[in-house]
Amino acid sequence: MYSLVSLGWSDFFAEGFVPFGAQGCFPARVAIQQRGHYLLYAEDGEWRAEVAGKIHYTARGMEDFPVVGDWVAVRKSGSPGNGVITGILRRKTEFARKAAGFRTNKQVLSANIDRVFLVASCDEEFNTKRLERYLVLARTSGAEPIIVLNKADLAGQPADFLEEARGIAGESTVLLASAKQSHGLEDFRRCLNEGITGALLGSSGVGKSTIINTLLGVEKLRTGDVRDYDGKGRHTTTRRELVLIPSGGLLIDTPGLRELQLWEADAGVQATFDDIEDIALGCRFTDCRHETEPGCAVRKALDEELLDQGRMESYRKMQRELAHATRKASRPASLAEKKRIKKITADQKRGYKRKS
């Protein structure tokens, strides 16, 4: 039905799978996750599955449950097409955010995305600061960002948008496209060949759905629904969140990915603002905040207009957000964490009793 390679399988996952293979499990990829129910793609077709009790028992939090894009090890259970997820293979990349609510907990939105297409439109909505933020998110996840400047047909001078985007893109590729006129999508397809998993990020209205539908050739995102998935006789329809593209590759499109927040994006910030980080190497103090410190190379560059004031401001804004996220993350253990610790302690006590 599906070749593992077309589903994104690689040596990386094969290696992680070895111990599970020895236990008679088979590999599968999560296409939909819904309240503890999973729809999986495997070599022999689609499977429905739930996670094994062992995973519930040892999970530290939400991040230890499978999400869309994960490769999992599956054991067959009673009825045909039904399985139990016994393990999650190590993730190659991970899109996460602060979980909603009062406690800071990591929520993984999707896993194993290779390339993130950051979609922007060539109109008055175009905003390099926003693009910079998306670049940080993508790089933090481990995925390779590719900027897609859509609606090129609306721009008098698309080259101007291209130039602006390249100014902040660093090493990343920038593509010009018009999804509505099916222009530039060949380049897009070249970046999404067999076995590559992509995702589209960008503000609402920039043309993400139009691009996906063009790639699928039909309105598959709407029509590829799964019926009666909850297995309780209720007729629910669910949109597939991991879809195979006919010309090769896969796309992940989950609601959560559309409303991403920053989560420990340090590594990404450095890659995106490496020009500022480079200048800062010349500051007298290694912990220079580039405010009133003597011998500050960054302030000097700003004074001499070698560094753009606006760019410096977005750098500062990013750092403030990071500091905020980090402070939140280092608050006392969350409720879930406390429960887990309590449980482990209780288990240990029981163990000691047995021994004595």
Which part of the chain contacts ligand GDP (CB under 6 A), choosing from 29-37, 100-108, 160-168, 202-210?
Answer: 202-210
Q: Which two structure tokens, joined as six digits, stand for 212? A: 């996906």
Q: Could you say which residues in the range 175-194 bind ligand GDP, by CB under 6 A?
A: 178-180
With CA atoms as reference, report the closest residue to 191 among 158, 145, 252: 145
Does 278 help bind ligand GDP (rule: CB under 6 A)?
no
Does 255 help bind ligand GDP (rule: CB under 6 A)?
no
Task: Number of residues interacting with ligand GDP: please give it, by CB under 6 A.
Answer: 14
Among 138, 206, 279, 297, binds ligand GDP (CB under 6 A): 206
Distances (CA, A) of 73 to 13, 143, 251, 293, 297: 11, 23, 21, 54, 52
Which part of the chain contacts ligand GDP (CB under 6 A), choosing from 145-153, 240-248, 290-298, 340-348?
Answer: 145-153
Nearer to ligand GDP, 123 or 278 (CB): 123
**Interacting partner of 106 out of Zn ion, ligand GDP, none (Cβ under 5 to 8 A depending on kind):** none
Q: Which two structure tokens, joined as six digits, stand for 265? A: 């994006």
Task: Report how far residue 300's alpha carbon sits from residue 61's, in angstroms, rounded to the nearest whole number.
Answer: 46
Nearer to ligand GDP, 70 or 253 (CB): 253
**Least distance from C-beta 302 to Zn ion, angstroms?**
10
Does 220 help bind ligand GDP (rule: CB under 6 A)?
no
Does 153 help bind ligand GDP (rule: CB under 6 A)?
yes
Does 154 help bind ligand GDP (rule: CB under 6 A)?
yes
**Least distance from C-beta 205 to ligand GDP, angstroms?**
5
**Interacting partner of 178 out of Zn ion, ligand GDP, none (Cβ under 5 to 8 A depending on kind):** ligand GDP
Alpha carbon 328 to chain centroid, angstroms: 21
What residue ranges bind Zn ion (CB under 5 A)? 283, 288, 290, 296, 298
- 250 residue type, one letter: L
**Least distance from C-beta 115 to ligand GDP, angstroms?**
17
Distances (CA, A) of 332 to 28, 104, 105, 194: 36, 10, 11, 44
**Interacting partner of 179 out of ligand GDP, Zn ion, none (Cβ under 5 to 8 A depending on kind):** ligand GDP
With CA atoms as reference, report the closest residue to 245 among 285, 205, 218: 218
Cβ neighbours, 10 Å, residue 314 = 20
The DSSP result for 80-132, as a single string, is TTEEEEEEEPPPS-EEEEEPSSSS--EEEEEE---EEEEEEESSTT--HHHHH
Task: Report how far residue 236's alpha carbon sits from residue 23's, in angstroms, rounded to the nearest whole number.
Answer: 34
**Least distance from C-beta 298 to Zn ion, angstroms?**
4
Alpha carbon 250 to chain centroid, angstroms: 14
DSSP at 144: E
**Interacting partner of 290 out of Zn ion, ligand GDP, none (Cβ under 5 to 8 A depending on kind):** Zn ion
The H-assigned helical ranges of 10-69 are 11-22, 53-58
Does 208 help bind ligand GDP (rule: CB under 6 A)?
yes
Which spans of this chain sit near ligand GDP (rule: CB under 6 A)?
150-151, 153-154, 178-180, 204-210
